[in-house]
Amino acid sequence: MATPRIVFIGAGHMAGSLIGGMIKQGMDSAFIGACDHNPPKLEQLQSHYGIQVYSDSLSALNSADVIVLAVKPQVMQALCETLKQDGDVSGKLFISVAAGITCSHLKKWLGDVPIVRCMPNLPAKVGLGVSGLYASVDTNAELRKIAEQTLECVGAVIWVEKEEGINHIIAAAGSAPAYFFLFMDAIQQYAQSLGFSEKDARNIVTQTALGSATLAMSDPGTTLAQMCQNVAVKGGTTAEAVRVFNQADIHTTVKKAMQAAIERSQQLEDQL
Ligand SMILES: NC(=O)C1=CN([C@@H]2O[C@H](COP(=O)(O)OP(=O)(O)OC[C@H]3O[C@@H](n4cnc5c(N)ncnc54)[C@H](O)[C@@H]3O)[C@@H](O)[C@H]2O)C=CC1
Ligand SMILES: O=C(O)[C@@H]1CCC=N1
């Protein structure tokens, strides 16, 4: 296939991050489109990135080779049934980013089309996303490659062998920026209460997070537990802070939180 044209149906947070990341990585805006019911979102994307925009999903469908389904799970069935009943879905690759919507749901609503399920995360917007990918068995190697290359524009890509792996990626990556934001917000709030301005407290926490992640990536041979120990030297200040976290059993809390995200993905699947 020549350079495929990609259109996003649903132009909210996730689609906006993917589009922003693709443009930042140098993808030609002439090959990217977006469709949404919400005109201000489309105007913003068009003015920021110069992409084609569509207010109706059938025009969007007709415009592209690759359709990224980026609406909330609760409205996915209605969208897919409209595309199938009123449009021509043949010859297109469908990439769904929705949590809790399986390939078999999508095939029931769209018919027998090639599908790649993708679970990206919001740091895609700055080219630092992580996306899990799973393809329906009938998706050929060329189409898998197109999905992979599309998501590689915005960060790392990991294929999962079983579809349930997508729910595990949700817990470990799709939802995970929120865990880090929550933790950073807690640090920022207490730093402010110690007297730092909001701006300084935010800079302190975001620079520390960026520095810590960059350091961890620069040294894959050192475990994260060891990196923690390198700061929390015996008898020092950090060891006292880490002792408090361990008293609250942070590992168990994180495990329970990730399990809750996985269970919610399964509930969404079972509701349909
Ligand atoms: N926000 C995140 O961090 C992540 C979200 N996702 C998935 O991405 C999908 C979208 O999530 P968000 O972007 O957060 O939601 P969002 O609410 O920001 O965006 C959804 C957009 O879809 C539009 N929409 C609804 N029905 C439509 C239709 N029939 N035709 C065209 N547009 C329509 C809405 O107007 C809205 O702008 C969800 O399925 C979610 O599971 C996946 C990974 C991460
Ligand atoms: O919370 C959600 O349902 C979506 C999926 C992963 C991140 N956001």
Asked whether 38 lines ligand 1 (CB < 6 A), one says yes
> Rounded distance, CA 18 to CA 165, Å?
21
Return the pLDDT at 272.
85
Atom of ligand 2 nearest to the CA of 174: 6
Kindly list the strands in the beta sheet with 52-54, ordered across the sheet, starting from the edge strand earlier in the chain: 52-54, 32-35, 6-9, 66-69, 93-96, 115-119, 129-135, 155-159
Distance (angstroms) between ligand 2 centre and the Cα of 192 equals 29
| Tens-place pLDDT, residues 124-143 | 999 999 999 999 999 999 99
Ligand 2 close to Cβ of residue 170 (< 6 A): yes
ipTM passes above 0.95? yes
Look at residue 2 in the predicted model and tell me its pLDDT.
Answer: 82
Taken in order of first residue, the domains within the chain and their CATH numbers are 6-162 (3.40.50.720), 176-268 (1.10.3730.10)
Count of CA atoms in the C-beta half-sphere (13 A) of 108: 9
Residue with tokens 């109706």: 56
pLDDT tens across 214-257, in order? 999 999 999 999 999 999 999 999 999 999 999 999 999 999 99
Q: Are the C-beta atoms of residues 70 and 11 closer than 8 Å to each other?
A: yes
Nearest CA to ligand 2 atom 5: 99
What separation in Å is there between the alpha carbon of 206 and the centre of ligand 1?
26
Q: Is the pLDDT of residue 46 over 90?
A: yes
pTM of the complete model: 0.96
Cα-flanking dihedrals φ and ψ of residue 136, to 5°? -65, 150
